[in-house]
């Protein structure tokens, strides 16, 4: 899958994009210190090689990487306009560079890129989703406001089907409420986690998947992303996911 210019694969990864220059330099410095192996992919994924960061030029906002032994390969790399740098193990880090050049350092030639303007730092646990109880579901209360006629405002109550620290999945009956569409943000959505507390969150619709049911009807699985949750709400989410994980382990 080709990465977007900011290194993302999916819309719901936007919250993990880092733009701060000092933070980006710090992340790259960690890669340098640990001699971390990075996968470099270009030419639509047809060319791949492994490299490491060998130095960071903070003054000129540049990063230098070890070079391949294959001169023809290096020429294709330099000529490429879309090069993905990816750390795959553990916490995933990735970005895309569009301008590469060759530079001569004390130890020999190296690949030079401009400091990434943004990169993705993604801990896979952040997208790990755990199923929520079916028999006693937590209801996601979604306020649907009508700005022209307040009497037409309503609250949708949709059962959770899964949860992660990045978002939730809910199920809705057919026909789907017309207020729900990709990209729409709902504010002050309530979820009462048993024995933990009530979270109030802004949720953005990321995906809608129709799901046929055995009786011939259709339901809609809706994926929401949290928008800037407060530290207090993040703690409630984490506590609930940990609770579900403990229950799942006991059932196994």
Which CATH number do you get for residue 103? 2.30.110.10
Residues 51 and 162 in one domain: no
Is the CB of residue 197 less than 8 Å from the CB of residue 158? no
Residue 3 within any structural domain of the chain: no
Residues 151 and 195 in one domain: yes
Task: Confirm whether 167 is domain-assigned.
Answer: yes
> Where is the domain boundary, 124, 146, 174?
124
Same domain assignment for residues 60 and 101: yes
Question: Is the same domain home to 193 and 87?
Answer: no
In a domain, 241, yes or no: yes
51 domain residue, yes or no: yes
Q: Please report which residue ranges of the chain form alpha helices under DSSP H.
A: 21-33, 71-79, 231-251
Residues 6+ apart with CB under 8 A from 114: 61, 62, 63, 97, 99
Question: Within 13 Å and on the Cβ side, how many CA atoms surround 46?
Answer: 6
Domain match, 132 and 114 both: no
142 lies in the same domain as 154: yes
Are residues 161 and 217 part of one domain?
yes
Tell me, yes or no, whether 190 and 117 share the same domain.
Answer: no
How high is the pLDDT of residue 224?
Answer: 94
Domain end marker among 124, 150, 174: 124
- 51 and 141 in one domain? no
Distance (Å, rounded) from C-alpha 18 to C-alpha 114?
16
The count of structural domains within the chain is: 2
Beta bridge partners of 194: none
Mean per-residue pLDDT pooled into runs of 10, the chain (252 residues): 70 75 91 91 88 95 92 91 86 90 90 94 68 92 81 89 90 93 94 96 91 84 92 90 80 60
Looking at residue 169, what is its pLDDT?
94
Q: Which of 74, 100, 124 is the last residue of a domain?
A: 124
Task: Evaluate whether residue 164 is within a structural domain.
Answer: yes
Query: Do 39 and 76 fall within a single domain?
Result: yes
pLDDT at 57: 96
State whether 102 and 201 are in the same domain: no
Decide if 214 is inside a domain: yes
CATH number, domain of 247, equals 2.40.10.220
> Is 40 part of a structural domain of the chain?
yes
- Residue range of the domain that includes 30: 11-124
Query: Quick one: residue 188, left, alpha or beta (phi over 0 = left, psi -120 to 50 = alpha)?
Result: left
The token duo for 64 is 């230098």
- pLDDT on residue 54: 95
pLDDT attached to residue 125: 54
């Amino acid at each position: 899958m080709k990465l977007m210019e900011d290194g993302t694969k999916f819309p719901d990864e936007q919250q993990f994009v880092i733009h701060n220059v000092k933070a980006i330099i710090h992340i790259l410095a960690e890669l340098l210190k640990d001699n971390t192996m990075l996968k470099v992919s270009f030419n639509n994924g047809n060319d791949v090689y492994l490299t490491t960061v060998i130095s960071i030029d903070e003054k000129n906002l540049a990063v230098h990487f070890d070079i391949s032994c294959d001169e023809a390969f290096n020429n294709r790399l330099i000529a490429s306009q879309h090069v993905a740098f990816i750390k795959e193990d553990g916490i995933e880090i990735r970005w895309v560079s569009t301008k590469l050049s060759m530079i001569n350092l004390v130890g020999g030639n190296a690949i030079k890129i401009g400091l990434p303007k943004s990169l993705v730092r993604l801990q896979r646990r952040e997208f790990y989703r755990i199923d929520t109880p079916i028999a006693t579901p937590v209801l996601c209360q979604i306020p649907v406001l009508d700005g022209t006629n307040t009497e037409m405002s309503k609250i949708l109550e949709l059962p959770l089907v899964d949860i992660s620290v990045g978002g939730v999945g809910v199920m809705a009956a057919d026909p789907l409420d017309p207020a729900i569409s990709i990209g729409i943000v709902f504010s002050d959505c309530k979820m009462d986690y048993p024995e933990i507390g009530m979270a109030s969150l802004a949720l953005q619709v990321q995906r809608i998947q129709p799901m046929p049911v055995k009786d011939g009807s259709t339901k809609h699985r809706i994926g929401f992303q949290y928008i800037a949750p407060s530290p207090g709400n993040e703690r409630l989410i984490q506590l609930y996911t940990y609770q579900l994980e403990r229950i799942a382990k006991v059932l196994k």
